[in-house]
Amino acid sequence: MRTAIIGGGIAGLAAAYELEKARAAGAPVEYTLFEARERLGGSLASETVNGAVLELGPDSFLTEKPAAAELCRELGLGAELLPSNDEARKTYIVVRNRLVPLPDGLMFLVPTKLIPTALTRLFSLKTKVRMALELLHPPRPTGLPDEAVATLVERHFGSEAVDRLADPLLSGIFGGDSAQLSARTVLPRLVEMEIEYGSLTRGMLAAHRKMRARAAAQKSGSGLAQSKARPAPRGIFTALRGGMQQLIDALQARLDPASIRLSTPVSALRMVADGWTVEANGSRELYDAVVIASPAWAAGELLGQVDSELGEELSGIPYSSSITVNLVYDEAAIGRLPDGFGFLVPVKEGRAMLACTFVHRKFLGRTPPAKAVFRAFLGGMNNEAMLAETDAVLVATVRRELNDILGNKAFPAGVEPEHTQVSRWRRAMAQYAVGHRERTQRIAERVAALPGLRLAGNAYDGIGIPDCIRLGRQAAKELIALSPEPAVSRS
Ligand SMILES: Cc1cc2nc3c(=O)[nH]c(=O)nc-3n(C[C@H](O)[C@H](O)[C@H](O)COP(=O)(O)OP(=O)(O)OC[C@H]3O[C@@H](n4cnc5c(N)ncnc54)[C@H](O)[C@@H]3O)c2cc1C
């Protein structure tokens, strides 16, 4: 079976890796990976400057989703996995230019500890009273239509919780807007808790109790309590010591170089009697199967010629753009920074920056001693115009805002960074808008009617790296299962 993979981001690479493994094991599969840009990796890219690892796109993945770490281990990168420095984990929200720590006991968007919630400067008295009364919230009937995350959060905790919690936390993940994001897709557990318990706080506490009981049972069952064996350190996030580029390089090294076509955007796709024709750089080739791992808007353009409704559904998935700005400083030249990993900026603060990570604190050993690395994240749904600004303007904006927020002592305006790096990610982050789950079901139904077609990538069932890897590998495995048995195993 000859498969064309369109898009060499992490999803397309994961699909190619799976096909390459099958090919090497003797399965009758061949593949060609078409990538529009001159490099593989899509949003994953990093560079090392004077010993400092700078992430241009994502800096890590969620440890609780195993697909990414599993792939890294398979590729021989197990020793390169680096847990986040959770001992120093503390995140702030910017409120009227001041850094306010997230209160203890906050489980994603849900407060679960009375005293820290009562004492925090993050919320007004009115919101705190509302949070206490939330314990009495009645259950929601099942079968109601999807709604925006902002609507769900506001119903339980009020509008200040939307502005100071939901918006900044979600824009850090999706570069998106809680008034548009789907509660059912982005916060499915909270939607279920509301149906079962009414109160999200009560639901979250019950889930936490169950989790602890399960963990205790597992621990005593496995004898770990008595054993001296220490589990490998785990952080909430996992990075690679040399940056995400390590994963891309390791994947590329496993693939057959003759199967990779860089700077080759696919311009047309057609379904024909004996498979699919793929047009790129002026030539047309026939394949038995296609994995489209490009962003959904690009998939929509290609598939619109095959099935116009499918093309429209795919093109209807909104995307946001973002910018990352890395600034490297001599630590002695700046002042003492607040403890923790960094801060999030609510949209209501009216700033360009959505978040800033103190990289040297979040992952130890990736920044040389006595250096500080700030990684600012700009853009989001309401700030597309910023992509057109020059690097110099973006760096100056970040420096000005860091000075405003951290103060002139911690971040003196006049101190020049030793190195700056700016990356623009245009329409890179899919937004799971209200009705997303229904839309992906309609997409799946239409794709199922087109033999040999699979979709993978961040637009469908998870925006993060582990989900993209899972979907890419799954798409390839399904196609491998369709290919005829190798001649050798038949004989
Ligand atoms: C700035 C930023 C920070 C992020 N931070 C994190 C994080 O910390 N942790 C995390 O888990 N996730 C993070 N994400 C999300 C995650 O990185 C992405 O969702 C994921 O990498 C998307 O992978 P993909 O393969 O689906 O798409 P992409 O990486 O977008 O790759 C798609 C590829 O398709 C190619 N392409 C498009 N059209 C064509 C065509 N016609 N022909 C051929 N090729 C085509 C593109 O050039 C691109 O290389 C972040 C994303 C961004 C942008």
Mapped onto helix, strand or coil, the DSSP state of residue 242 is coil
For ligand 1, atom 22, name the residue with the nearest CA.
458
CB atoms within 10 A of CB 135: 14
Q: Is the CB of 68 under 6 A from ligand 1?
A: no
To test the pocket of ligand 1, the residue of 71, 294, 321 to mutate (highest count of ligand atoms within 8 Å of its CB) is 294
10-residue averages of pLDDT along the chain (491 residues): 98 98 95 98 97 96 95 98 90 94 90 92 96 95 95 97 93 84 95 96 93 80 52 81 98 97 98 96 97 98 97 97 96 94 93 94 93 92 84 97 96 95 96 97 98 98 97 97 63 37
Protein residue whose Cα sits closest to atom 52 of ligand 1? 57
Q: How far is the CA of 84 from the centre of ligand 1 (A)?
A: 22
Atom nearest to 324 CA in ligand 1:
1
Q: What is the pLDDT of residue 221?
A: 67
Cβ of residue 463 lying under 6 Å from some atom of ligand 1: yes
Distance 15 CA to ligand 1 centre (A): 14
**Mutate which of 46, 251, 465 to test ligand 1's pocket (most atoms within 8 Å of Cβ)?**
465
Task: Quote the pLDDT of residue 227.
Answer: 47
Our answer on whether the CB atom of 37 is closer than 6 Å to any ligand 1 atom is: yes
Q: Could you tell me if residue 462 is left (phi over 0), alpha (psi between -120 and 50 degrees) or otherwise beta? A: left
The pLDDT value recorded for residue 217 is 81
Residues 6+ apart with CB under 8 A from 27: 480, 483, 486
Ligand 1: which of 13, 37, 394, 458 to mutate, judged by most atoms within 8 Å of the beta carbon? 458
The ligand 1 atom nearest the CA atom of 456: 26
Amino acid at 441: Q
Distance 203 CA to ligand 1 centre (A): 34
CA nearest 173: which of 61, 304, 54?
61
Indicate if ligand 1 lies below 6 Å from the C-beta of 58. Answer: yes
In angstroms, what is the span from residue 128 Cα to ligand 1's centroid?
39
- Choosing from 43, 236, 252 the residue with most ligand 1 atoms within 8 A of its CB, the one to mutate for a pocket test is 43
Torsion of CA 256, 258, 262, 265, to 10 degrees: -110
Beta-carbon count within 10 A of 97 CB: 11
Q: Is 322 in the pocket of ligand 1 (CB under 6 A)?
A: yes
Cα 248 from chain centre = 16
All residues at 6 or more sequence positions from 97 whose CB lies less than 8 Å from its CB, including other chains: 349, 404, 405
Strand bridging mode 110-111 / 237-240: unpaired
303 sits in which H/E element: helix 296-303
Which residues partner with 181 through β-bridges?
433
> Please, is 269 exposed, middle or buried when counting C-beta atoms within 10 Å of its C-beta (0-12, 13-18, 19+)?
buried
Contacts (Cβ under 8 Å, ≥6 apart) of 465: 10, 44, 58, 61, 68, 244
Q: Are the C-beta atoms of residues 10 and 42 closer than 8 Å to each other? A: yes
Å from CA of 419 to ligand 1 middle: 25
Q: Can you tell me which atom of ligand 1 is nearest the CA of 7?
A: 34
- The Å distance, Cα 122 to ligand 1 centre, comes to 33
Contacts of 417 (CB under 8 A, 6+ apart): 327, 328, 329, 395, 399
Distance 123 CA to ligand 1 centre (A): 35
Residues 6 or more apart whose Cβ sits within 8 Å of residue 369: none
What 128-136 contacts at long range (C-beta under 8 Å, 24+ apart), as own/partner pairs, is 130/157, 130/158, 131/157, 131/158, 131/161, 131/201, 134/199, 134/200, 134/201, 135/199, 135/201, 135/202, 136/198, 136/199
